[in-house]
Amino acid sequence: MIIGMISDTHGSIRGWESALRVFQRERAELILHCGDILDIDARASSPLVRALNSSPIPVLAARGNMDAANHITLLKFPVVPLALVQDGANRIVVVHGNLLADAASAFRQAASLGARVLVRGHTHISDIQSKSGVYLLNPGSAGNSRGSSESSAMILSPKTVRLITLHSGDTIREASVD
């Protein structure tokens, strides 16, 4: 399965539309959102709500620390504290990441859940790490990145994960997930 991964849109319709173009180009079959979906002011996020609810690709999301309960009720797809996706023999865990202090705790959580891939957001900084056959992925932020990171998203395929800049749609980092 080809999976698009996005995080921290914070109400950005532009970030979502750029990511969706990448996901459609790559023929993603599922989109995993790592949370902080909407803006604090839900009215400012209404264009994004409409776009997400009409996504041509199914969306599954982990609830972020900025995702208020009354806001996520506007969304027509599952928004849960922790999402599990089984892709063949691979278990993928999706969390926001605000409760994970560091990479070591993320790897421990992945191991405790029997996951091969843990996808998290929250930091707004993209990252690809692996340890003992477990992959820790952070697609960065589609809304507002931090540090030197550009707005970005990821594509996970059976053999690779690619970090893609939303500005140009180009792959800026690729790693094997065999």
pLDDT digits (tens, 9 = 90+) for 17-35: 999 999 999 999 999 999 9
For residues 120 and 138, the answer to whether their CB atoms sit within 8 Å is: yes
Domain annotation for the chain: domains and CATH numbers: 3-176 (3.60.21.10)
Residue 52 has a pLDDT of 97
pTM: 0.94
| Cα maximum dimension of the chain | 44
Residue 145 has a pLDDT of 63
Residue 178 has a pLDDT of 79
Residue 1 has a pLDDT of 95
Q: Which residues contact 162 (CB under 8 A, 6 or more apart)?
A: 154, 155, 171, 173, 174
Dig out the tokens for 41 from the structure.
């002011």
pLDDT tens sequence across 84-142: 999 988 999 999 988 777 888 899 999 999 999 999 999 999 999 999 999 999 999 99
